Amino acid sequence: MFYTDGKLQFPVRVESPDPHFARALQQAIGGVEGEIRVAMQYFFQACGARGNPKFRDLLMNTAAEELGHIEMLATAVALNLEGAPVSVKEQVAGDPVASAVLGGLNMKNLLSAGLSAMPVDSDGVPFDMSHIYASGNIAADMTANVAAESTGRVLATRLFNLTNDRGMKEMLSYLIARDTMHQNQWMAALEELGGPSKVFPIPNGFPQEQELQEFSYAYLGFQQDGSEPVPGRWSDGKSIDGKGSFKTMVPQPMGQKPVLGPAKPDSGAQAEQS
Amino acid sequence: MFYTDGKLQFPVRVESPDPHFARALQQAIGGVEGEIRVAMQYFFQACGARGNPKFRDLLMNTAAEELGHIEMLATAVALNLEGAPVSVKEQVAGDPVASAVLGGLNMKNLLSAGLSAMPVDSDGVPFDMSHIYASGNIAADMTANVAAESTGRVLATRLFNLTNDRGMKEMLSYLIARDTMHQNQWMAALEELGGPSKVFPIPNGFPQEQELQEFSYAYLGFQQDGSEPVPGRWSDGKSIDGKGSFKTMVPQPMGQKPVLGPAKPDSGAQAEQS
Amino acid sequence: MFYTDGKLQFPVRVESPDPHFARALQQAIGGVEGEIRVAMQYFFQACGARGNPKFRDLLMNTAAEELGHIEMLATAVALNLEGAPVSVKEQVAGDPVASAVLGGLNMKNLLSAGLSAMPVDSDGVPFDMSHIYASGNIAADMTANVAAESTGRVLATRLFNLTNDRGMKEMLSYLIARDTMHQNQWMAALEELGGPSKVFPIPNGFPQEQELQEFSYAYLGFQQDGSEPVPGRWSDGKSIDGKGSFKTMVPQPMGQKPVLGPAKPDSGAQAEQS
Amino acid sequence: MFYTDGKLQFPVRVESPDPHFARALQQAIGGVEGEIRVAMQYFFQACGARGNPKFRDLLMNTAAEELGHIEMLATAVALNLEGAPVSVKEQVAGDPVASAVLGGLNMKNLLSAGLSAMPVDSDGVPFDMSHIYASGNIAADMTANVAAESTGRVLATRLFNLTNDRGMKEMLSYLIARDTMHQNQWMAALEELGGPSKVFPIPNGFPQEQELQEFSYAYLGFQQDGSEPVPGRWSDGKSIDGKGSFKTMVPQPMGQKPVLGPAKPDSGAQAEQS
Amino acid sequence: MFYTDGKLQFPVRVESPDPHFARALQQAIGGVEGEIRVAMQYFFQACGARGNPKFRDLLMNTAAEELGHIEMLATAVALNLEGAPVSVKEQVAGDPVASAVLGGLNMKNLLSAGLSAMPVDSDGVPFDMSHIYASGNIAADMTANVAAESTGRVLATRLFNLTNDRGMKEMLSYLIARDTMHQNQWMAALEELGGPSKVFPIPNGFPQEQELQEFSYAYLGFQQDGSEPVPGRWSDGKSIDGKGSFKTMVPQPMGQKPVLGPAKPDSGAQAEQS
Amino acid sequence: MFYTDGKLQFPVRVESPDPHFARALQQAIGGVEGEIRVAMQYFFQACGARGNPKFRDLLMNTAAEELGHIEMLATAVALNLEGAPVSVKEQVAGDPVASAVLGGLNMKNLLSAGLSAMPVDSDGVPFDMSHIYASGNIAADMTANVAAESTGRVLATRLFNLTNDRGMKEMLSYLIARDTMHQNQWMAALEELGGPSKVFPIPNGFPQEQELQEFSYAYLGFQQDGSEPVPGRWSDGKSIDGKGSFKTMVPQPMGQKPVLGPAKPDSGAQAEQS
C-alpha cells in the first residue's frame, strides 16, 4: 500500500524558466534511463521477489523514493515551461526567437499537456514498460538495477552540465547523489548475495556441468582474417566468477549451412519453393 | 565491415519438432533478453566507443558472434515449426489436438512468416530498438552488458528446462556456456577499467563535490510509519565504491507542496484554472 | 513524496492456482484499462494541476490508491502462476495437458519474469505510457478519468465472470466497488466544476464566438445516398451543454479537390511529379 | 462500405506557409487526441456495436466525417510545408534561419514523406492503434468518446491560438465547432441510454450486490499522516449514479505483506531463492 | 470527404463460429499485411500526391474500398467469437475444452472488446501507423503497394487454408481476388509511369552522374573467405533498369577503422575516455 | 556465422560537423527506410528461405553489406555531432545560436548516447522490428525489398541534397549507388523467379480458380455519386500478370448491414444491449 503527503522530497526551484531545458528534463522522467523506469522496475521486482523478504522490502522502499523523484522532475518541467509561448496574439508567429523556442520544444508538452510534464522522453517518445526488467532472479535484477542507476547518473550529470540555473543545479546535485547511493546499494545487494564468486554465473542455480564448459571461459574471435582478437583482462587469467580461466579461441563453424527443406504445400510460399 | 560464410557456429538439430517450443525460442531472438538485443547493443556501443580502441574491438567482435546466435536460433525456430498445421484439409479444424497446437503458437510465425522465425518475442511482440543501451560511457555500457547477459542466461536455462529434445538441449548448453563467458567478459572489462573503486560512481568523470554528498551514501527509508527500513549491507559499512560509508536516514520532505500557479490564458485550460 | 508499508490494501487469496487466469489478470495490470494506467494518469494529472489545489490533492491521493491495486494484482498473478510448469523433467513435453497450459500462457510471465507479474497486458503487450492522458485542462482530464474507470470496471466484471475461485472473486468484488466509487468520484469532480452547462464545451475558456457556430450543434449526415442519418437525442432538442439546439444537416463538400501543386525539384519525387 | 468524392468538407487555405505550424498540426492527425484516433475509434465501436442498431449508425456516420477531417488536416500540413527547405544549393547549410526552420520540423515530414503529412504526432511519433477504445459496452464507449472530443477540442483551440494565418484559423474554427457538437453528441447518447442514474456504474448489467458495497461510495484517504483527504463533492452527498451516498474513510491495510514462497527449482532463480 | 451506407461490400457468413479463427483473422485487420495498413497507406499517399491528379484519385478510391474490407473482417471476427466462453458459471473453469479455447484466444478480444474485433494483429499487438509508407515519390509508393498486396494475398491464402467454414471461404475467395487485382493495379500504375526503364532507379529525378557509378550495378560479395558470391540474374547481363550491366566484385574495405577521438569533457563519459 | 574487420566499407569524412545533419542521418540508420531495416530484413528472409538455396545466399550476403552501412552511418552521425554543445560553462545557456543547435537535435543523441549514433530515426523514435518483412514467400519478400530500396534511395538523395559537406556527399554518392544496385538486384531476383507472368499473383501456388475471379481484374469505383473512377492502365488492357483483362465496375453492396445480435449476458455490456 502506498501513501503520499503531496510534498516534494527536495525543493524544486527554477530561477529562469527555460523551455528547452524542460525538454531535456523529460529524458529523466520518461527516458529509458529515467525515473519512471526505476520506480516501476523496483516495484515489479518487489512484487515478484521470492526468497529472503529483505530484498522485497529494499526494493519496495526504493520504489517509493523514485516515485517522489518523478514528482520532483515533473514539477521542474512545468516550471521551466512557464517561458513557452502559447499564443501568437498577432505577433509571435513572425518572431524568430519565439519561433525558435517553439521549434525546440517537445510540442506535446505544449499541445497535449498544456505546459506540463508527460511520461515521454526528451524527443517526445512515450515510455514503454517493456523496459521494466524483473526477471524473477534476484541477482539478475540487481545487475539490471546497477545498469539503470549507472545510465541514470550519466544522464543526470549531462543535465547538470547543460544548465546554469541555480535551482536546477541544486535539484540535480541531489538526484546525482541519490544515484551514487543507488549504484552502491544494488552492488551491496550483490555482495549480500555472496559477491561475484557466489552469485555468478547468473543464475547460479543451474548446474554448470550441463553447459558446454569448453566454451564457458573462452574469448572467441570473429575477425575476418582469422587473427586473434585484441587481448585484455577477458582473455587471460582467472575468470571473474572464479570458476574458470579465460582463454582465446578462433572458432570454426561447427554447423553447416542450414537447410530448411522445401516449403509445405498450402503454406503460402511460391510454387517454386515446394 | 561484416562478412559471412552462411554456416552455423554450432549445429542446430531438432529431433521432434515442437511448435510450442518454437514459440518459447522466439523470446531468445526478439525478447528484451534476446540475441538481437545483445548483437545490436554491442554493435552500437562499438560504433560510439571513444577512448582506448580495445573496447571498440572487443564490442564489435562480440557483436559478430551474437549475429551468429540469432542465425542459430532462427534455424531452430523454423525446424521446430515443422510440426505446425497450415491447412485444414476438411478435417483439422475439428481436431482438438491440432487446434490446441494452433492456439498455443505465435500466430504470426505461421501467418506472417510461413513457419519461419521473426524478430518478435514469445508472445509475438516485435523487438523495439529502444532496448539498445549505448550511453557513450564505457563503464555504464559494461554494466548494461552484464545485465543483458545475466537475464539472457536466465532465459536460456529456462528454455533448457522446458525441452527434452536432445538437439535443442545441446544447442542451449552451448549458448548457456557463451552467456557464462559473456557475463565474465563484461565484468573483466570493468576490472580492466579499474574495478569498483575506480569505476564507480559512474560516470567517474563528474566531480563528486558537486553532488549533495550528505545523501550520497544514505539508505533512505520511506516507510509509512516513519520506522527505519530493513537493514542490510546497503545500510552499513564502507560503500562499494570505497568513497563513503553507508548509513540509514528517515527523510522528511524538504520541499513543500508544489504550486504551479494559474494556467496561462489561451493555454487550453478551463476558465476556472486561470 | 510517497511512502509504503508493504502490506496489501485487501487480502489476496488464490484457492486453486490457474495460470490462464493469471494471463487474464495481466490485462488489469498492464492493459489500457488497467491499474498502471490509472495510477500514472492520476499522478501526472496531479503534477500538472493548475488552479484550485483541491484537484491536485484528489488526484494524487487516488494515484496512491491505484499503486496499491497494482500491488494486489501483481500478487494475484504470481499466486495463480504457481500452477504453471517450468520444467519438462523428461515427461511434460509430451503431456498434452501441461502443453495446453503452456500454450495458453503469456510466455513472458514464465520466460522473462519467472512466474511473476509483468507490466504487460493479457496478450503480453507492454503498457505504453502514451495512454496517460493529462491534458492541462482539469475538466478534460476528468472525462478521461470517467472513461478509464468505465472501461476498467467493465474489465473487472469480465474477470469476475471468468473465475470461480473464491479468493479471486472476493478481491475482484473489492476492486469493482472501488471502480464504482471512482466513476462517481470523477463525475462528482465535474459537478464541482459546475456541471455540464458550465463545464462544456471543453475547454470552456475558448470564446465560442470564434468557432463556426453554424456547425456547433449540427448532426451531419454522411450517408452515401444523401439521406438523413438516423435521428436520436443528438439531433433534436437542447444541446447537453445548454448552449444550442441540436439539428440535422446533410453537408455538401465546401472545399474542392485539393491540389498540392508539383513537387519541388530535389525533393526526392519522380521527375514526372515536378 | 465507404465512398469518396475526393473533395474537402471545408476549404483549406494557407496564406503563409509555416513549416513549424505544419509540425503542430501533425498532433491533430496522429496525436492521441487527433483525427485518426476518433475516426478509427468510432469505426471499430460501430463494427462491434450490439443492441439497438441506431448506435451503430451514429458511430459509423461520424467515423465517415472524421475521415474527412484527416483529409483536411493532411492537406493543411502539406500546404504549410511548402516553406521548408529541401536543398542546400551550396548556401542553405550555413544559413541560420533555414537551419532553424529545419531544426524545428518533424524531420520525417521532409525525409520520409517529401513535404507531406504523416500519421504521426507533432514530435514524429507514429500513432498506435492501442488508443482505439471499443469496449463492447456502448456506455463505456460513449465516455471514451466524450473524453476524446474533449482533449481534441483542447488541442484544436491550442492550435488556433498558435497561428495567425487566416486560412488556418477558419479551418480550425470549423473543426472546433465540430468538436463542440461531438462532445454534445456523445453526451446525448449517454442521455438516450438513460442518463447517469440508469447508465452508471458502467457496466450496469453487473449486479451491484456482487461488489463489496461497503467501499462502493467511499472516498478513501491515503495521506501518509493518516489525516482525512481534502473533501469535495466526491466525499459528501448522494452519489452521481444515485445509488449511494459519498463518505470518507481512512483505510487500514486489510491484507498482510505478500509472501510468494520460495522459487521453484528449475525456474531460473538464484539458488538462495529456493 | 467520405460517405457510408453501413452495408457490407460482400456477404459475411459464419457457419460454425470458431474463436481461434477469429484470432487468425485479426492478422488481416491489424497485422502489418492487413487492411488498416492498406486503407491508411493509400489514404495518406493520396493526400500527399503531387503531379498528375489521376494517381490521387486512384489511391483515394482504393482507400475507400479497403475501409470496407476492414468492416467485413471486423464483422467476421465478431461472428467467429460467438463461440467463446465469457463466464464460468461454476463449471467452465474446470473444463479443459473451454479452457483450451480461452488459452488460444487473443484475450483482449474478450477482455477489452467484449467479443468484438480490434485493430490488433493475431497475437494481440496493436497496429502501429509507422507502417504507412507514403514517401512523396509516386513510384516508390507503388512499389510499397505491390509489396503490401503481395504479403496481403499470401496472408489471405493462409487464412483460406486454415478454415473449412464455407462462409469464411467465400469471403476470403473474394478478398483474395481483390488482392490479385490490387497487385496488378499497382504494377499497372508503374507501367503508366513508364515501366522499369523509365521509373528506375527510384527516384528517377536524381542525376545518376552524382552517384558513384562504379558501384551502381555491382553485386558485391561479403563472403568471409573472399570467394565470389553465388551468381544469378543479379550478377550478369543488362540491369533491369536498362542503364547498366551487372557485374560481380569482391570488395576490400576502402575506409579505415573509425576513430572518434576522445570524449569531450562534461559529456558524461568515464574519465579514461577523455 | 558473421565476421568483422572493424574497417569501413567506404571512407567516412566530415569536413564541417553539423549536428542538425547528424539528426537527419539518423533516419538512414533507424528510420523505416534505413539500414537496420534492410540488414535485418535480408537476414531474417535468409534464415527463413526455403527452396533454391541461392536466394538464401543472395540475401545473407547482402545482409552482411548492410551491416557495414549501419557502421558507416553511425560513424558519420558521431562525427557530425562533434559540433554539439554539451556544457553551458556559464555562458551557453544564454547563447541563442547554441540554444538553436540544441533545440534542433535529437536530444537523445546527446543525453542518452553522449554524442553517438542510436538506432532511432530523425525524430528520435526507436526502430521497431515489426518492419522486418520476411513472409516465407520468396517473391513477396523480393517485392518488399524493392520497396525498401526504393524508399531508401529516395531518402539518401534527400540527405544528399540537404548537405554541402564534401565528405558527406561522397559517402552518400556511394550509398545511393548501392541502392541503385539493390533495386535492380531484387528486381533481377523476380526475373530469375520467372518474371511477372510467372511470379504474379503472389503467392503463385494458390489455385486461382479458388478465388472469385469475377473480381480478380476489376477496377472497382467507390465514388460517392456512382460515377466511374478515373481510368488508367489499371482499367483497360491485359493485366500485368497476363492472366486476365482489366475492366471497370461500379459495385453495389452485396452484403447487408451487419447485425451481431444482442450481447451475451455476463459479457460486460450494458443491460440494454442484451
Written as one string, the DSSP assignment of chain C is -EEE-S--SS----SS--HHHHHHHHHHHHSTTSHHHHHHHHHHHHHT--SSHHHHHHHHHHHHHHHHHHHHHHHHHHHHHTTS----TTTGGG-HHHHHHHHTS-HHHHHTTSS---SB-TTSPBPBGGG----S-HHHHHHHHHHHHHHHHHHHHHHHHH---HHHHHHHHHHHHHHHHHHHHHHHHHHHTT-HHHHPSSSTTS-GGGS-GGGTTEEE--BTT-PPPPP-GGGSSB-TTSSSB-EEE-PPP-S------SPPTTSS--GGG-
Contact D87, C265 (CB under 8 A): yes
Residues of chain D with C-beta less than 8 angstroms from the C-beta of F20: 99, 102-103
pLDDT, residue B90, reads: 43
Question: Which among A8, A22, A10 is positioned nearest to A163, based on CA atoms?
Answer: A22
Contact F261, E93 (CB under 8 A): no
For C140, list phi and psi in degrees, rounded to 5.
-60, -40
Query: Looking at this protein, which amino acid is placed at residue B2?
Result: F
ipTM of the complex in this document? 0.95
Furthest CA-CA distance within chain C: 76
- pLDDT tens digit sequence for E97-155: 666 677 788 999 999 999 999 999 999 999 999 999 999 999 999 999 999 999 999 99
Chosen CATH of C19-195 out of 1.20.1630.10, 1.20.1260.10, 3.40.50.460, 2.60.260.20:
1.20.1260.10
Chain D residue with Cα closest to F254 = D1
The pLDDT of residue A96 is above 80: no
Residues of chain E with C-beta less than 8 angstroms from the C-beta of B114: 154, 158
Neighbours of A173 (CB within 10 A): 19
Chain-chain contact of D262 with A51 (C-beta, under 8 angstroms): yes
Of B114-118, E176-180, E259-263, F187-191, the one with minimum mean pLDDT is: E259-263
Chain-chain contact of C138 with B225 (C-beta, under 8 angstroms): no
- pLDDT tens digit sequence for E72-100: 999 999 999 987 877 765 444 455 566 66
Chain-chain contact of C112 with B265 (C-beta, under 8 angstroms): no
Chain-chain contact of F52 with A155 (C-beta, under 8 angstroms): no
pLDDT, residue E100, reads: 66
Chain B residue with Cα closest to D224 = B224
E243-260 mean pLDDT = 95
Residues of chain F with C-beta less than 8 angstroms from the C-beta of A104: 99-100, 102-104
- pLDDT tens digit sequence for F158-197: 999 999 999 999 999 999 999 999 999 999 999 999 999 9
List the grid coordinates of C88. 519438462
List the grid coordinates of E252. 576490400
Residues of chain B with C-beta less than 8 angstroms from the C-beta of A260: 75, 78-79, 116
- pLDDT tens digit sequence for C143-162: 999 999 999 999 999 999 99
Percent of chain C beyond pLDDT 70?
A: 95
Residues D144, D43: Cα–Cα separation, whole Å:
14
- Which residues belong to CATH 1.20.1260.10 in chain F? 19-197
List the grid coordinates of F69. 552501412
Feature table: binding site of E = 35, 57, 66, 69, 149, 182
> In this complex, which of C139, C179, C233 lies closest to D191 when CB atoms are compared?
C233
> In this complex, which of E1, E49, E88 lies closest to C253 when CB atoms are compared?
E1
Residues E143, E133: Cα–Cα separation, whole Å:
10
The pLDDT of residue D149 is above 80: yes
Chain-chain contact of B268 with D224 (C-beta, under 8 angstroms): no
Pairing state of beta strands C247-249 and C218-220? parallel
Judge if the upstream peptide bond of residue D17 is cis by omega within 30 degrees of 0.
no
Q: Which candidate in B173, B240, B243 is best for mutational testing of the A interface (most A CBs within 10 A)? A: B240
Q: How far apart are the first and last CA of chain D?
A: 60
Residues F242, E180: Cα–Cα separation, whole Å:
12
Strand (E) or helix (H) holding E246: strand E245-249
Rounded (10°) CA dihedral F208, F213, F215, F216: 30
Neighbours of E68 (CB within 10 A): 25
pLDDT, residue C100, reads: 66
Residues of chain B with C-beta less than 8 angstroms from the C-beta of E159: 111
pLDDT, residue A91, reads: 45
> In this complex, which of A97, A222, A270 lies closest to F4 when CB atoms are compared?
A222
The pLDDT of residue B101 is above 90: no
Residues F201, F210: Cα–Cα separation, whole Å:
13
Query: Looking at this protein, which amino acid is placed at residue A60?
Result: M
Which chains share 3+ C-beta pairs under 8 angstroms with D?
Answer: A, B, C, E, F
Cβ neighbors of B250 (< 8 A, separation 6 or more) are: B220, B221, B223, B226, B227, B228
Chain-chain contact of A184 with B200 (C-beta, under 8 angstroms): yes
> In this complex, which of A47, A114, A193 lies closest to D270 when CB atoms are compared?
A193
Give the Å distances, CA to CA, from C227 to B190, D6, D42, F253, F254.
Answer: 74, 19, 20, 17, 20
Neighbours of D199 (CB within 10 A): 26
Measured CB to CB, residues of chain F less than 8 Å from chain C are: 154-155, 157-158, 161, 224, 266-268
- The helix/strand/coil state of B233 is helix
Residues C79, D261: Cα–Cα separation, whole Å:
9
Question: Which among C188, C53, C196, C176 is positioned nearest to D246, based on CA atoms?
Answer: C188
**Per-residue DSSP letter, B249:** E
Model confidence band, residue D226 (pLDDT cutoffs 50, 70, 90)? very high
DSSP annotation string for D140-201: HHHHHHHHHHHHHHHHHHHHHHH---HHHHHHHHHHHHHHHHHHHHHHHHHHHTT-HHHHPS
Strand (E) or helix (H) holding D61: helix D53-80
Neighbours of F207 (CB within 10 A): 8
Angle at E47 between CA D22 and CA D48, to 5 degrees: 100
Measured CB to CB, residues of chain A less than 8 Å from chain E are: 154-155, 157-158, 161, 224, 266-268
Which chains share 3+ C-beta pairs under 8 angstroms with B?
Answer: A, C, D, E, F
pLDDT, residue F91, reads: 46
Feature table: binding site of B for Mn(2+) = 35, 66, 69, 149, 182
Residues F178, F67: Cα–Cα separation, whole Å:
13
Residues of chain E with C-beta less than 8 angstroms from the C-beta of F256: 7-8, 11
Chain C residue with Cα closest to D216 = C177
- pLDDT tens digit sequence for A147-158: 999 999 999 999
Output the average pLDDT for chain A.
94
- pLDDT tens digit sequence for B6-49: 999 999 999 999 999 999 999 999 999 999 999 999 999 999 99
Residues E66, D2: Cα–Cα separation, whole Å:
9
Residues A219, F193: Cα–Cα separation, whole Å:
43
Contact F38, F148 (CB under 8 A): yes
- The helix/strand/coil state of A148 is helix
Q: Is E207 exposed, middle or buried (0-12, 13-18, 19+ CB in 10 A)?
A: exposed
Structurally, what CATH architecture does the domain formed by D19-197 represent? Up-down Bundle (1.20)
Residues of chain C with C-beta less than 8 angstroms from the C-beta of B225: 5
Chain-chain contact of B215 with A65 (C-beta, under 8 angstroms): no
Strand (E) or helix (H) holding D245: strand D245-249
- Which residues belong to CATH 1.20.1260.10 in chain B? 19-196
CA distance C262 to chain B (A): 37
Contact B159, B24 (CB under 8 A): yes
Chain-chain contact of B93 with E18 (C-beta, under 8 angstroms): yes
Q: Is E167 exposed, middle or buried (0-12, 13-18, 19+ CB in 10 A)?
A: middle
Low-confidence ranges of chain F (pLDDT < 70): 88-100
Residues E160, E168: Cα–Cα separation, whole Å:
8
Contact B11, B169 (CB under 8 A): no
Chain A residue with Cα closest to F51 = A273
Chain-chain contact of B161 with D266 (C-beta, under 8 angstroms): yes
> In this complex, which of F154, F157, F268 lies closest to C154 when CB atoms are compared?
F268
Residues D28, F35: Cα–Cα separation, whole Å:
30
Chain-chain contact of A263 with F103 (C-beta, under 8 angstroms): no
Chain F residue with Cα closest to B119 = F129
Angle at B114 between CA B108 and CA B117, to 5 degrees: 65
Residues of chain C with C-beta less than 8 angstroms from the C-beta of D71: 258
Chain-chain contact of E103 with B104 (C-beta, under 8 angstroms): yes
Helices marked H in chain A — which ranges?
19-30, 35-47, 53-80, 96-103, 107-111, 138-162, 166-192, 196-199
Taking each helix axis from N to C end, the angle separating A53-80 and C35-47, rounded to the nearest 10 degrees, works out to 40
Chain-chain contact of E268 with A154 (C-beta, under 8 angstroms): yes
Contact A103, D98 (CB under 8 A): no
Taking domain B19-196, whether its CATH number is 1.20.1260.10 is answered by: yes
| Residue with the three cell numbers 534455424 | B75
Furthest CA-CA distance within chain F: 76
Question: Which among D267, D272, D231, D237 is positioned nearest to D250, based on CA atoms?
Answer: D231
Chain E residue with Cα closest to A151 = E268
pLDDT, residue C98, reads: 64
Residues C180, D213: Cα–Cα separation, whole Å:
9
Taking domain A19-198, whether its CATH number is 2.170.150.70 is answered by: no
| Residue with the three cell numbers 463492447 | D136
Question: Which among D191, A181, F5 is positioned nearest to B245, based on CA atoms?
Answer: A181
Angle at D93 between CA D90 and CA D97, to 5 degrees: 125
Q: Chains C and F: how many Cβ contacts under 8 Å?
A: 15
Residues E95, D245: Cα–Cα separation, whole Å:
41
Residues C269, C274: Cα–Cα separation, whole Å:
8
pTM (two decimals): 0.96
Feature table: binding site of B for Ca(2+) = 57
Residues A139, B154: Cα–Cα separation, whole Å:
10
More confident residue, F265 or A250: A250
Chain D residue with Cα closest to A110 = D158
**Per-residue DSSP letter, D112:** T
Contact D146, C147 (CB under 8 A): yes
Residues of chain C with C-beta less than 8 angstroms from the C-beta of F224: 224
pLDDT, residue A92, reads: 47
Chain-chain contact of F114 with B137 (C-beta, under 8 angstroms): yes
Neighbours of F228 (CB within 10 A): 12
Chain F residue with Cα closest to B67 = F2
Low-confidence ranges of chain C (pLDDT < 70): 88-100
Give the Å distances, CA to CA, from A243 to A221, A239, B179, B223.
Answer: 22, 6, 14, 40
Chain F residue with Cα closest to D137 = F269
